[in-house]
Chains A and B, each alone.
Chain A
Amino acid sequence: MGDQHAHGAGDGHGHDPNQAHHFDTMDQQIEACKMGMWLFLATEVLLFAGLFCAYTVYRGNHPEVFHHASLFLDTKLGALNTVILLLSSFTAAWAVRAAQLRQIAKLKLLLVLTLAGAVGFLVVKYVEYSAKFEHGLLWGLRYDPHDDGHHPAPKPAGAPGLVLAGATTQEYAVATPWDDLTAVQDKSLVKPAGNEVAVQAVDGRVVPEEGAPPRKPWVGSAEQVRNVHIFFGIYFVMTGLHGLHVLIGMGAIGWVLLRAAKGDFDGGYYLPVDLVALYWHLVDLIWIYLFPLLYLIG
């Protein structure tokens, strides 16, 4: 929180220089700051709770889309990032211990390592995001899966469970719920998906154009499933907001590192280290939920 310096050192009261004027004792101040931090973390959880709720609703409404689309996420990179964040959370906890024991050199090293973990996470995330952008695996209207010229459009490793076995083309065309979407008025907003046949709405149902070749049975390629962009919308918002929290966390860790370098924690006062580590654990924890929910549902 940082408010422990509200009145700063040297106000001539003879108490701990880190103690703010309006607190009676240092213990009271530490307890108040910790409680404030926990409440703040609760608001962070609630902020993400809205996204988890949206995730639940759409996965409930479009389970097939989620299972399908998640196959385009790189599980290995996701797992690598999980390991990186867990390790950085570990170094953050260790840094608190070092601060408690007044091992300032060790504290600084551990904070640098935590910061390195955060950077590593963002680098991996950058690689993942670039791949999504190159292949047009994006949100809403910008969803336009394509071959980028170097690599073929990504194909899922295989989605046997997703094949509508035995369904004839016609049945598929009338029965799938996501076809309703094309019944909207404004055609310009709904792009005809890649290599699919053009469709038109009649009474909210979708029929192949006259003389069009028979539709390919759906085997789970992104071009042929509608509403995939919703998954990517949720994916980008969740991981983007989480990424923003990583950036804020890096700022906080950097701030604590600077204070450690200035010698602020030499006297056994380490509350800021404690609070920043708590924040970093939350950033880690949110990722622990994001990873399986986004990457491991195929």
Chain B
Amino acid sequence: MKDNYLTHSKGFLSWALTLDHKRIGLMYLVATLGSFFVAGMLALVVRTELWAPDPTIISADRYNQAFTLHGAIMVFLFIIPAVPGALGNFVLPIMLGAKDVAFPRLNLLSFYLWMLGGAIAVLSILSGGVDTGWTFYTPYSTEPERLGVVMMATGVFILGFSSIFTGLNFVVTIHKLRPPGMTWFRLPLFLWATYATALIQVMATPVIGITLLLLILERTMMIGIFNPKLGGDPVLFQHFFWFYSHPAVYIMILPPLGIISELIAAFCRRELFGYKFIAFSSVAIAAFGFLVWGHHMFTSGQSTLMSMMFSALTFSVSIPTAVKIFNWLATMYKGSISFETPMLYALTFLFTFSIGGLTGIFLGALSTDIHLHDTYFVVAHFHYVMMGGGVIGLLGGLHYWWPKMTGKMYDEGPAKLACALVFIGFNTTFFVQFVMGSQGMPRRYYNYDPSFQIYHQVSTVGSYILAAAFFLMLFYLLKSLATGRQAPDNPWGASTLEWQCSSPPPHDNFSTTPTVGDPYDFSGMTYDPQIGGWRPKGAPAAQGAA
């Protein structure tokens, strides 16, 4: 086997101190998927508890801690860092045609800050637990008995720095490390999406940093800024929190949107329809994302005028999002679509994310939101966006780049089955939550009216199907590492630069400087059954398989 980034050097330290963006990306992947597993288990605990109205398996206090940890770990340890940290780190420099990110040591520091922040956040369980919900609203979180808040806030504060440094690294890399010929409008759309994400990471995260710092000081020193008992303003905390956390929603969803652009182009074997519109829509979503935070606070006592403005601005986000969806559909129209696993995830994404987006309009509208506020409708909406959009996009990207990252092909059969199970399990879990939410089932409740029981039971069954799908996925992905077929350089016939280097890529990404052209030009490739992948027309046959 050819020398690659996995075999380039050996030993624990060669990984622990690596500056190679590919190794850091892989470490992020393992770490964030580990967090996903922990938070997913907590979700199963929550769903199982809700099987019946009365206490089922855990006490009310434990239940409050379980959903808080589920939310906090999913948001801060998994979905915010997963796509930029894992897939972004691995793919971005190669896709760009660069040897590495601009600041490799900062990149490694980001990873260790993630580890440290994650460890501290999880240790908060030992120091009394956190049951405030992942939003840490004051004055609830400033009550003296909530001991774990300080630790959790410290952990998230450190995770924020990790996110800032990753974003900063990516912005500078895309600005300054583009090889000759890689103009802005030749950037693959995943890079446009990552760039927009990185801008949000750099510009929004410092605000949650200072907010959490103030919260920590509030708890440890009683400075009185957010604590109404001391004359402070708890609504100010909500403003600060959502000034970050709404843009953070776009940190979670923009990179998967970029992944979907890549998947649609590659598996329709077609130039993306409206490239520039998709590129600018990413930047527009990032920009609008900063102006809509008040829609989380329609019932928090802000003025009606302000609520109306935030409501109107919220609707404006649907424009760039719709631009993407329609352009993808236009790309698929008359394309030669091949339904391999990543494409199945892309199609799932279109379905679930559209439901998530459209139900967002219900919640952005002032009058309906007053009715739906803090019900399961909200829970269903953001799971359709965060999981139906974010996680499914991530899974699509994971299956798409898995051969490049590991050099192994997974079995298509179980992968397609897992995708189908994810689709069924996901919709079973969350669609009924729209129904019970609109009928008044409040979120975060331990106990509920028996009339909601059937919905909860359907939802719980759905979550078990989802769990089965993920265990199946874990199984066949691990199996591919052991017995998988050697991956060809370009198994999908995709056109972006990362498919021009070998699988897995060499330490320096490219042995020869790649030629940068149109990112979505599929004309120069031909399928070679001997290697089970695609190669440039005219290149000698049967080269990639070692």
B98 within 8 A of A: yes
* Interface pair A229/B224, CB less than 8 Å apart: yes
* Interface pair B231/A237, CB less than 8 Å apart: no
Residues of chain B within 8 A of A236, CB atoms compared: 223
> Contacting chain A: which of B206-214, B272-280, B494-502?
B206-214
* Interface pair A3/B103, CB less than 8 Å apart: yes
B222 within 8 A of A: yes
* Interface pair B105/A3, CB less than 8 Å apart: yes
CB-contacts of B99-126 with A (<8 A) = 99-100, 102-106
CB-contacts of B147-178 with A (<8 A) = 164, 168-169, 171-173, 175-177
CB-contacts of A191-247 with B (<8 A) = 226-227, 229-230, 233-234, 236-237, 241
For the complex, give the distance between the alpha carbons of A54 and B225 in Å.
Answer: 8
> Contacting chain A: which of B232-240, B352-360, B434-442?
B232-240
B229 within 8 A of A: yes
* Interface pair A28/B177, CB less than 8 Å apart: yes
For the complex, give the distance between the alpha carbons of A190 and B228 in Å.
Answer: 11
Interface centre among A47, A48, A61 (most CB of B within 10 A): A47
Residues of chain A within 8 A of B229, CB atoms compared: 184, 186, 189-190
For the complex, give the distance between the alpha carbons of A43 and B99 in Å.
Answer: 26
1/0 per residue A56-82: CB within 8 Å of B?
A: 011001000000000000000000000
Residues of chain B within 8 A of A49, CB atoms compared: 206-207, 210
Interface centre among B102, B175, B177 (most CB of A within 10 A): B102
Nearest chain-A residue to B232 (Cβ)?
Answer: A230
Residues of chain B within 8 A of A2, CB atoms compared: 105
Nearest chain-A residue to B230 (Cβ)?
Answer: A140
Residues of chain B within 8 A of A226, CB atoms compared: 231
For the complex, give the distance between the alpha carbons of A32 and B176 in Å.
Answer: 6
User: Given A35-B175, A36-B102, do A50 and B211 touch, yes or no (CB 8 Å)?
Assistant: yes
Minimum CB–CB distance for B106 against chain A, Å: 6
For the complex, give the distance between the alpha carbons of A236 and B176 in Å.
Answer: 40
Minimum CB–CB distance for A230 against chain B, Å: 5
1/0 per residue A128-144: CB within 8 Å of B?
A: 00000000000111100
For the complex, give the distance between the alpha carbons of A46 and B230 in Å.
Answer: 26
CB-contacts of A149-187 with B (<8 A) = 178, 181, 184, 186
* Interface pair A6/B176, CB less than 8 Å apart: no
A90 within 8 A of B: no
For the complex, give the distance between the alpha carbons of A258 and B473 in Å.
Answer: 53
Minimum CB–CB distance for B445 against chain A, Å: 25
Nearest chain-A residue to B209 (Cβ)?
Answer: A47
* Interface pair A230/B171, CB less than 8 Å apart: no
For the complex, give the distance between the alpha carbons of A42 and B172 in Å.
Answer: 13
For the complex, give the distance between the alpha carbons of A53 and B233 in Å.
Answer: 13
Nearest chain-A residue to B226 (Cβ)?
Answer: A54
Minimum CB–CB distance for A65 against chain B, Å: 9
Minimum CB–CB distance for B338 against chain A, Å: 35
User: Given A227-B231, A230-B232, do A139 and B221 touch, yes or no (CB 8 Å)?
Assistant: yes
Nearest chain-B residue to A52 (Cβ)?
Answer: B210
Minimum CB–CB distance for B139 against chain A, Å: 10
Residues of chain B within 8 A of A230, CB atoms compared: 224-225, 230-232
A1 within 8 A of B: yes
User: Given A42-B202, A47-B209, A51-B210, do A22 and B176 touch, yes or no (CB 8 Å)?
Assistant: no
Residues of chain B within 8 A of A5, CB atoms compared: 105
Minimum CB–CB distance for A125 against chain B, Å: 18
Residues of chain A within 8 A of B227, CB atoms compared: 140
B205 within 8 A of A: yes
* Interface pair A50/B168, CB less than 8 Å apart: no
B19 within 8 A of A: yes
Residues of chain B within 8 A of A178, CB atoms compared: 231
Residues of chain A within 8 A of B230, CB atoms compared: 140-141, 189-190, 229-230
* Interface pair A141/B172, CB less than 8 Å apart: no
User: Given A1-B103, A1-B106, A140-B230, do A233 and B223 touch, yes or no (CB 8 Å)?
Assistant: yes
Give the size range of B's interface with the partner: 35 or more
For the complex, give the distance between the alpha carbons of A50 and B215 in Å.
Answer: 12
* Interface pair A39/B172, CB less than 8 Å apart: yes
1/0 per residue A1-36: CB within 8 Å of B?
A: 111011100000000000011110000100110011
User: Given A36-B172, A47-B209, do A6 and B104 touch, yes or no (CB 8 Å)?
Assistant: yes
A255 within 8 A of B: no
Q: Could you say which of B102, B231, B232, B236 contacts A32, with CB atoms under 8 Å apart?
A: B102
* Interface pair B205/A43, CB less than 8 Å apart: yes
* Interface pair A237/B217, CB less than 8 Å apart: yes
A266 within 8 A of B: no
B308 within 8 A of A: no
For the complex, give the distance between the alpha carbons of A186 and B176 in Å.
Answer: 57
Q: Could you say which of A50, A142, A233 contacts B207, with CB atoms under 8 Å apart?
A: A50
Residues of chain A within 8 A of B232, CB atoms compared: 230
1/0 per residue B397-427: CB within 8 Å of A?
A: 0000000000000000000000000000000
User: Given A6-B105, A22-B99, A32-B176, do A42 and B203 touch, yes or no (CB 8 Å)?
Assistant: yes
Q: Could you say which of B207, B211, B233 contacts A58, with CB atoms under 8 Å apart?
A: B233
For the complex, give the distance between the alpha carbons of A35 and B206 in Å.
Answer: 18
For the complex, give the distance between the alpha carbons of A168 and B501 in Å.
Answer: 84
* Interface pair A3/B236, CB less than 8 Å apart: no
For the complex, give the distance between the alpha carbons of A126 and B106 in Å.
Answer: 33
Residues of chain A within 8 A of B210, CB atoms compared: 47-51
* Interface pair A57/B231, CB less than 8 Å apart: no
Minimum CB–CB distance for B224 against chain A, Å: 4
For the complex, give the distance between the alpha carbons of A117 and B470 in Å.
Answer: 59
Nearest chain-A residue to B169 (Cβ)?
Answer: A36
For the complex, give the distance between the alpha carbons of A227 and B223 in Å.
Answer: 11
* Interface pair A43/B168, CB less than 8 Å apart: yes
Residues of chain A within 8 A of B231, CB atoms compared: 178, 181, 226-227, 229-230
Minimum CB–CB distance for A115 against chain B, Å: 25
Residues of chain B within 8 A of A40, CB atoms compared: 168
Residues of chain B within 8 A of A142, CB atoms compared: 221-222
Query: Residues on A close to B: CB < 8 A?
Result: 1-3, 5-7, 20-23, 28, 31-32, 35-36, 39-40, 42-44, 46-51, 53-54, 57-58, 61, 139-142, 178, 181, 184, 186, 189-190, 226-227, 229-230, 233-234, 236-237, 241
Cβ contacts A to B, 19 pairs, < 8 Å: A22-B100, A35-B175, A39-B171, A39-B202, A43-B164, A43-B206, A46-B206, A47-B206, A47-B207, A50-B210, A50-B240, A54-B214, A139-B223, A139-B224, A181-B231, A184-B228, A230-B230, A230-B231, A236-B223
The 7 closest A-B pairs by CB, nearest first: A50-B210, A140-B222, A233-B223, A46-B206, A140-B224, A3-B103, A22-B99
Knowing that A2-B105, A3-B105, A227-B231 touch, tell me 16 more A-B residue pairs with CB under 8 angstroms. A7-B19, A21-B99, A23-B177, A35-B171, A35-B175, A39-B171, A40-B168, A50-B207, A50-B240, A61-B233, A140-B223, A140-B224, A186-B229, A230-B225, A233-B224, A237-B214
